[in-house]
Amino acid sequence: MDVAIEPLLDRLRTGPESTDLTADDAQVLGRRLRRWGDDLLSGLSVYGDKGAAALVERVIDLITTAYAGRRPALRELDRVRLLRPDWFAEPDQVGYVCYTDRFAGTLRGVAERIGYLRELGVTYLHLMPLLEPREGPADGGYAVRDFRRIRPDLGTMDDLAALAELTADRYRRRSDRTITVDAEPCVVLARPLAVERALSNLLDNAVKFDPDGSDPIEVRVHGSTVEVLDRGPGLDPADADRIFDRFYRASTARSMSGSGLGLSIVQEVAADHGGTVSAAARPGGGAVIGFTVAADGFLPEFLPESKPQPAGG
């Protein structure tokens, strides 16, 4: 399919449906189109080149209309996930798959059980076929007749939208914290995405242990040391040496969701960068957890096969 991306971006900005988009909406969709536009065109290529341009424009218009009607809480979640497109593959994500009717009867019943799923540590819910199937044999509900209609016995599209907004709202309240940063300029040799992941895990850990705190979570970057400080329940000295072990759960964490992998990943990132990890109780309550990276040197894959020996050695 011989269609370029740039004209599609113009369609987002000037097409007949574009008047329903805010400037921020158009920017978000434009970024997505630049990132995944080739995949979109590849999928549409099965329809051939005849009328390809008109087909793609029609798809862009449908996307624009659908996004313009998306609820604010879900748009906010979209923006968060745009920054972390691999969110579903992170080790602390726990998926749960179920049949809506067998689990809770209806979509409203699922909404009433979100608290239970959170207690199990579930972060991603996939509901088995719930769209309106075709009449007659329907492959267990997977042969969908209408992607905009819910099976009448399970609820309505409004019920599904309310359920999605409820889960988005819980995510927002879980992560809506003030974070202050005290950083001094420094230069280190590091993999940006890996260090970002380590810091993200530390922040997620702080939010989890201090979910309702009024004090901000603090991030301190001094030299090659990164620390995150919270005002949670603190850290038992007996746990300080083990919280970076895979699957280890501190005594204060055993009733909480999580896989026990988040801090072990921090340790792996630090080790890969020639650094160390640290954890201690914070004076006045809470914890200070952090890591270091080597201020200079080689990253592992760039290590020379043999290092020069010192004179006389």
Instruction: Locate 178 and state its tokens.
Output: 């003030």
Asked if residue 127 lies in contact with residue 109, where contact means CB atoms within 8 angstroms, the answer is: no
Helix/strand/coil for 123: coil
pLDDT of residue 309: 40
Evaluate whether 217 touches 206 at the Cβ level (below 8 Å): yes
Model pTM score: 0.48
Structural contact between residues 247 and 261, judged by C-beta atoms closer than 8 angstroms:
yes
pLDDT by residue for the chain (313 residues), tens only, comes to 556 677 777 777 776 666 677 777 888 888 888 888 888 888 888 887 777 778 888 888 888 888 888 877 677 777 777 767 777 777 767 889 999 999 999 999 998 888 778 767 787 889 988 889 888 887 877 888 888 899 999 999 888 888 877 775 555 555 556 778 887 766 677 777 678 778 878 888 888 777 666 788 888 888 788 899 998 888 877 777 788 888 666 655 544 545 567 788 889 989 988 899 999 889 988 899 999 888 654 444 443 333 334 444 4
Buried b (16+ CB within 10 A) or exposed e, 280-290: eebeeebbbbb
d(CA 203, CA 155): 38
With a CB cutoff of 8 Å and minimum separation 6, the contacts of 5 are 33, 34, 37, 38, 41
Q: Which two tokens stand for residue 263?
A: 């801090």
